[in-house]
């Protein structure tokens, strides 16, 4: 089965000169005639989403178009957009208007006040909730690897955090984040959701921020663990990996292959390691939980997905995109490299704006001009 997939990306709106975040989310939302662009909880962010797509080339086109349209719209308001998962410069973010945002602020206090982080969420279609839960149960161990590949938030309030993804550290202050247990059935999943909501802590289902979940809006598995990617290529790669994981997991379920029985604590430690080092150290081996060189774990992921990717004719493209990240570095590595060449964080943000709108490899090679604004 070739499953449709879609990508949501959360971008930072920045002043084109200073690089500082600016609260223009509602303004851009109102100016936009682009149907797949929406404002977020914080006014310094804007989100784009693709259509559900079967092919990587179509998805790459949508991702590139979303980024270019968001930046074009920001320019009309005197700003730019940057695919940065946290602001490198200090910021006091601005809450969006509306009752729900006010409720989030009232309930979660400083966690909500300081929350200005950008993620990349990948949706993959499922045939049923039963299949979806089976997928969730079997992809858990690989989610920290996706976090490491996407890591793109080394700076926080003007300082180097020493983390590759400090977004993940800030994000997991919410009470309903991180890895989940093995459920075993859709009934068990929905019962846990019912119990969580009955606790009175989250506002609603939208406030459940697990690393991966069943979407409460669409018939999809939604993987939410990743930083927003600095490069469009990496967003395409992330989507391909998530779809490959979903299809591989569904086949394992149908073949009676049990999930790897990693505990939530083991997965939390694996995610911490991925957040801290990205691809510049060791990652937890999903099969054993023990540290291995990041390069080896990433190759193990590629090997895990090889049958599905080859069947779908995507192996060569995914391999190329994956080795591009390994050779070039993650978004976090590129931010630090850019700062090494730049004279200030402001100049680094300016570099990030340019990287955000680079066309994907697929579109460059095809000479595709459909993204012209």
Q: Which residues pair with 165 in a beta bridge?
A: 153
In this prediction, what percent of the chain has a pLDDT beyond 70?
97
Maximum CA pair distance of the chain?
Answer: 57
Q: Domain coordinates of the chain in residue numbers?
A: 5-366
- 53-84, pLDDT tens digit by residue? 999 999 999 999 999 999 999 999 999 999 99
- 5-366 — its CATH code? 3.30.590.20
Confidence of residue 39 (pLDDT cuts 50, 70, 90): confident
pTM of this structure: 0.95
3-state secondary structure of 125: strand
- Shortest CA distance to 2 belongs to which of 322, 310, 212? 310
- 130-145, pLDDT tens digit by residue? 999 999 999 999 999 9
The pLDDT of residue 364 is 57
Q: Are 183 and 192 in contact (CB under 8 A)?
A: yes
Q: How far apart are the first and last CA of the chain?
A: 35
Average pLDDT of the chain is 93
The token pair at 13 is 């709106």
- Shortest CA distance to 5 belongs to which of 210, 207, 242? 242
- 278-330, pLDDT tens digit by residue? 999 999 999 999 999 999 999 999 999 999 999 999 999 999 999 999 999 99
Give the span between the Cα atoms of 245 and 217, in whole angstroms: 21
- Shortest CA distance to 121 belongs to which of 202, 44, 190, 208? 208
């Amino acid at each position: 089965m070739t499953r449709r997939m879609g990508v949501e990306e959360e971008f930072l709106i920045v002043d084109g000169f200073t690089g500082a975040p600016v609260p223009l989310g509602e303004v851009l939302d109102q100016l936009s005639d682009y149907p797949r662009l929406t404002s977020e909880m914080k006014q310094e962010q804007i989100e784009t989403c693709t259509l559900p797509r079967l092919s990587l080339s179509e998805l790459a086109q949508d991702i590139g178009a979303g980024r270019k349209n968001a930046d074009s719209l920001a320019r009309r308001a005197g700003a730019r957009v940057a695919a940065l998962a946290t602001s490198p410069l200090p910021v006091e973010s601005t809450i969006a208007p509306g009752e729900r945002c006010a409720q989030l602020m009232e309930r979660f206090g400083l966690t909500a006040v300081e929350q200005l982080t950008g993620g990349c969420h990948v949706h993959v279609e499922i045939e049923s909730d039963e299949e979806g839960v089976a997928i969730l149960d079997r992809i858990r161990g690989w989610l920290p690897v996706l976090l490491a590949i996407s890591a793109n938030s080394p700076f926080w309030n003007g300082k180097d955090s020493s983390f590759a993804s400090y977004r993940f550290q800030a994000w997991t202050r919410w009470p309903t984040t991180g890895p989940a247990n093995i459920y075993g059935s859709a009934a068990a999943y929905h019962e846990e959701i019912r119990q969580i909501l009955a606790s009175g802590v989250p506002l609603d289902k939208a406030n459940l921020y697990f690393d991966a979940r069943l979407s409460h809006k669409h018939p999809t598995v939604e993987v939410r663990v990743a930083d927003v990617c600095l490069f469009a290529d990496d967003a395409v790669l992330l989507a391909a990996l998530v779809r490959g994981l979903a299809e591989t997991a569904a086949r394992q379920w149908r073949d009676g292959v049990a999930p790897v029985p990693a505990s939530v604590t083991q997965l939390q430690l694996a995610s911490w390691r991925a957040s801290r080092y990205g691809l510049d150290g060791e990652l937890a081996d999903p099969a054993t939980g023990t540290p291995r060189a990041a390069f080896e774990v990433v190759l193990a992921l590629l090997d895990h997905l090889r049958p599905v990717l080859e069947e779908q004719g995507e192996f060569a493209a995914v391999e190329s995109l994956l080795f591009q990240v390994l050779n070039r570095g993650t978004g976090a590595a590129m931010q630090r490299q850019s700062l090494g060449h730049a004279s200030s964080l402001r100049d680094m943000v300016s570099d990030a704006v340019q990287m955000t709108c680079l066309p994907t490899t697929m579109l460059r090679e095809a000479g595709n001009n459909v993204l012209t604004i």
